[in-house]
Amino acid sequence: MRSKPPLKATRPPTARVILLRQEAPAQPSPGEPCNGCGVCCAAEPCPLGILVSGRRQGRCRALHWDTALSLYRCGMVSQPQRLWPWLPLWARASVSRWARRWISSASGCDATLVGSPAPR
């Protein structure tokens, strides 16, 4: 006689509110190039963001809005000295390249979140 496999406990998906600027670009499809929508970093920090933010949940402290380009950017890529003020001038470009590699910026969107605009 075969026994039934144990049931796996599953949690229902939880709805979370992520506040983003209205003028931010729409989230790209998975695998598409990053367009600076900010959804992934506003939802939770990546491993680099955990190091920089000191938190595992919530908005990454490194996420910042680029007014000139109207999109979100990782501060460790665009302005590492803002997050690490002790960083010597000569090391900024290297840290930026290191951060770009660590967040895998050229790999395309890997956010599995499904967003919807807030009701008006």
Mark the ranges of the chain whose per-residue pLDDT is less than 50: none
Report pTM. Answer: 0.78
Q: Distances in Å between the alpha carbon of 107 and those of 41, 53, 80, 92, 119?
A: 15, 23, 21, 23, 32
Q: What is the pLDDT of residue 3?
A: 62
- Nearest CA to 46 among 118, 109, 97? 109
